Chain A
Amino acid sequence: MQIKSKFIRFCIDVLVLTALFILVQYFITTGLLDQYYQINLASMCINIILAVSLNLINGFTGQLSLGHAGFMAVGAYASVVMTQMLGQPFIVGLIVACLAAALGGFIIGVPTLRLRGDYLAIATLALGEIIRVTLQNIDYVNGPAGILGITKMTTWPWLFGATVFTVLVVVNLINSSYGRAIISVREDEVASELMGINTTKYKVMAFVIGAMLAGLAGAMYAHFFYIIKPDTFNFMKSFDILVMVVLGGLGSTTGAIIAALFITALTAVLQSFPAIRMILYALILIIVMIYRPQGLMGNKELSRQIFGRIWGGRK
C-alpha cells in the first residue's frame, strides 16, 4: 500500500517534469520564447544549480562558504578546455568539469573545514580569489582576456537535465541517513561527533558535492554565453549566490530554487532601469531580511502537503 502510493507519487513527479520539459521545448522550437527569454531561462537554471548546491554547504552543513564562484570557474574552464581545445564532446566536458571542481573542493575543503564560522568564510573567500587570479595567469586559457567564441552547446535539454540532476542529488542525499549526518553537523558539531559521526568526513563530503555541482553550473554557463573570463567568477558572483541562498532560507532546497528564480527574474526586469537597479535590488533584500530574517522558506520545504492545503484538495 505504502510502496504503491510512493510509486504513484513518483509517476506524477515524472509526468509533471516531462510535461514542463516538453512545453518549454515546444515554445522554443515554435519561436514563442525568443532569444531574450532563452537567456533568462538559462540563467534561471544555472542559478538554481548554484543556489541549491551552495545551500547544501551553507544551509544544510552550516559551513559558511564564500568561494562558490571559484568552483564554478574551475568547472567552466575545465569543460571549455575539453570541448574547445581538445575537441571532446560536451558530455565529456561536463564530466571533467564536475570532477575537476570536486577535486578543487576536496583540496580546499580538507584544510579549511577545520575552521569555523567567520574564519571559514574568510578562508573560502580567499581561496575563491586564488582560483580566479591563478586563471588570470595561465596563458593556455588566455589569462585575463578569457576564452572567446565558445561553441554554444548548452541547449534546453542539457539545462533541464543538469538542473533536475542537481536537485535530485541534493534532495536524495539530504533525505537519507547521510543527509541526517550532514544536518547534525550544523545542529551541534560536538554532539554529532560524540554520537559516532565523523564530522570532518561529512563536512568534506558536502563541500565536495557542492563544489562538483557548481562546476556543472560553470560548464553550462560557459557553453551558453560564448565567453568566459576570470573576472566573471569574482567575489561578487559568490556573493550573488549567497544572497539567493539566504533569501530562500538556509536549509531549504525549495527556498533556494524559488529565490534563484525570483532574483534572476528581478535582475532581468530591472535591466531596463540600470540607474535604480542596484538600489531596488538592495532594498528588496533589506525588506526581506527585516520582515523574514529566516528567509522566504526558513528551513521548511514546499511539499505536496502544503500544495494540498493551498488547493484544499485531499490530504
Chain B
Amino acid sequence: MSLIMEINNLDKSFGGLSAVLNFNFCLEQNELIGLIGPNGAGKTTVFNLITGVYKPDQGSIVFNGQNIVGLAPHTICARGIARTFQNIRLFNDLSVLDNVKIASHKNVPYGFLSAILRTPGFFKGEDIIEKDALKYLKIFKLDDKKDELAKNLPYGEQRRLEIARAMATKPTMLILDEPAAGMNPQETKELMKLIAQIRRDFKLSILLIEHDMSLVMGVCERIYVLDYGQIIAEGRPEEIRSNKQVIEAYLGEELE
C-alpha cells in the first residue's frame, strides 16, 4: 500500500469565517474513505480545495508525490482526480452520450485541423471516443438511454451519469459528493454495489461525502469526521459510531 494523497495543515477562510482549519488527511492506494459531518462543516469546501476550485490559504495537497496546490482545475483533472457534484451539474441540454464523451476530451485522439478537414483520423478517433463512452454508460446501466437529454433523466440516473462522466476522465482518484442524495434505499444499495465494483475494476481510490450513514458505514474503510472545519475524529466505522465527540457534533451534548 502506498499513499496516493496526503493533505497537510490545509486552511481556507472566507472573509472572517474559517471554513476549513488545519485539515490533515491521507488516502492510500485503492482505499475508500468517507468524509462526514453536520451541514456546513466544510466537507464540500475540502472537495473544492482538492479539485482546485478554491485556492487554499495555507497547507499542501500532495497527489502522487506532487503538490497540486495552485494548479488549474483542468490540470488537476488531467493528473487523475475526478469528482461529482452535490448539486448535480450535468450538461443538461446535451445527450447522455455527449456528456460522457466530453469527459474524454482531454485524451482526444485527433488534432484540431483533422477535425475541420474531416481526415480519416478524425473518423477513427470519433469511433474510439464513442466506444469508450459506451463502455462507461454500460457499467452504469445507462447505455439504452444514450440519446436522451441529460436533463430528462430521472434523478437517480442523473446521479449515476455524473459518476459515469467522472469515470470517463480516467481518474486514479474519485471524489463523490453525496452520491446517494435523493435516492431511495433500493437505489442506494445498488449504488453501493456499483461503487465497490468500479473501485475493484479500475483500482480506484475513492473519497466520498455522504449523509446516508448506512452507505458510509457499509462501504468505507476509514472515516473522517469534520465539524466547524476541523477534523474531530478519524477511524474505522465502528470506532466512529461510538465516538463521544462525533455523537455530540451530530446530536448535541447530553444534558446533566
Report if A253 contacts B (CB, 8 A). no
Residues of A near B101 (CB, < 8 A) are 177, 180
18 A-B pairs (CB sep. < 8 Å) = A172-B117, A173-B115, A176-B116, A177-B101, A177-B126, A177-B129, A178-B108, A179-B115, A180-B98, A180-B101, A184-B91, A188-B90, A190-B89, A194-B73, A194-B74, A194-B83, A195-B169, A197-B106
Report if A154 contacts B (CB, 8 A). no
- What range describes how many residues of B lie at the interface? 35 or more
Report if A289 contacts B (CB, 8 A). no
Partner of A183, one of B82, B94, B103, B122: B94
What CA separation (Å) do A92 and B166 show in the bound complex? Answer: 47
Report if B156 contacts A (CB, 8 A). no
Partner of B115, one of A172, A187, A194: A172
Tell me if B105 and A197 are in contact (CB < 8 A): yes
Residues of A near B72 (CB, < 8 A) are 193, 198
Give per-residue flags for B161-186: 1 if the beta carbon is below 8 A from chain A beta carbons, else 0.
00001100100000000000000000
What CA separation (Å) do A184 and B252 show in the bound complex? Answer: 44
Partner of B92, one of A177, A187, A196: A187
Residues of B near A232 (CB, < 8 A) are none
- The dominant DSSP class at the A interface is helix
Tell me if B77 and A195 are in contact (CB < 8 A): yes
Tell me if B115 and A184 are in contact (CB < 8 A): no
Partner of B91, one of A173, A183, A194, A199: A183
Report if A17 contacts B (CB, 8 A). no
Known contacts being A184-B102, A191-B89, A299-B93, is A178 close to B115, with CB within 8 Å?
yes
Known contacts being A177-B125, A183-B91, is A195 close to B103, with CB within 8 Å?
yes
What CA separation (Å) do A20 and B238 show in the bound complex? Answer: 76
A window 82-109: CB within 8 A of B: none
Give per-residue flags for A185-207: 1 if the beta carbon is below 8 A from chain B beta carbons, else 0.
00110111111111100000000
What CA separation (Å) do A172 and B93 show in the bound complex? Answer: 20
What residues of chain A have their CB less than 8 Å away from a CB belonging to chain B?
Answer: 3, 168-169, 172-173, 176-181, 183-184, 187-188, 190-199, 299
What CA separation (Å) do A171 and B166 show in the bound complex? Answer: 27
What residues of chain B have their CB less than 8 Å away from a CB belonging to chain A?
Answer: 51, 53, 72-74, 77-78, 82-83, 85, 89-94, 98, 101-106, 108, 110, 112, 115-118, 122-123, 125-126, 129, 165-166, 169
Known contacts being A173-B116, A177-B108, A178-B108, is A197 close to B91, with CB within 8 Å?
no
Q: How many contacts between A and B, using CB within 8 angstroms?
A: 92
Most chain A CB within a 10 A radius of its CB, from B110, B115, B129: B115
Tell me if A180 and B105 are in contact (CB < 8 A): yes
Residues of B near A181 (CB, < 8 A) are 102, 105
What CA separation (Å) do A243 and B112 show in the bound complex? Answer: 30
Residues of B near A172 (CB, < 8 A) are 115-118
Q: A184-B94, A188-B90 are in contact. List 18 more A-B contacts (CB 8 A).
A: A172-B115, A172-B116, A177-B108, A177-B125, A179-B115, A180-B98, A184-B91, A187-B94, A188-B89, A190-B53, A191-B90, A192-B91, A193-B73, A193-B74, A195-B165, A196-B103, A196-B105, A299-B93
Residues of B near A193 (CB, < 8 A) are 72-74, 77
Residues of B near A178 (CB, < 8 A) are 105, 108, 112, 115
What CA separation (Å) do A145 and B188 show in the bound complex? Answer: 72
Q: Shortest Cβ distance from B79 into chain A, in angstroms?
A: 10
Most chain A CB within a 10 A radius of its CB, from B92, B110, B116: B116
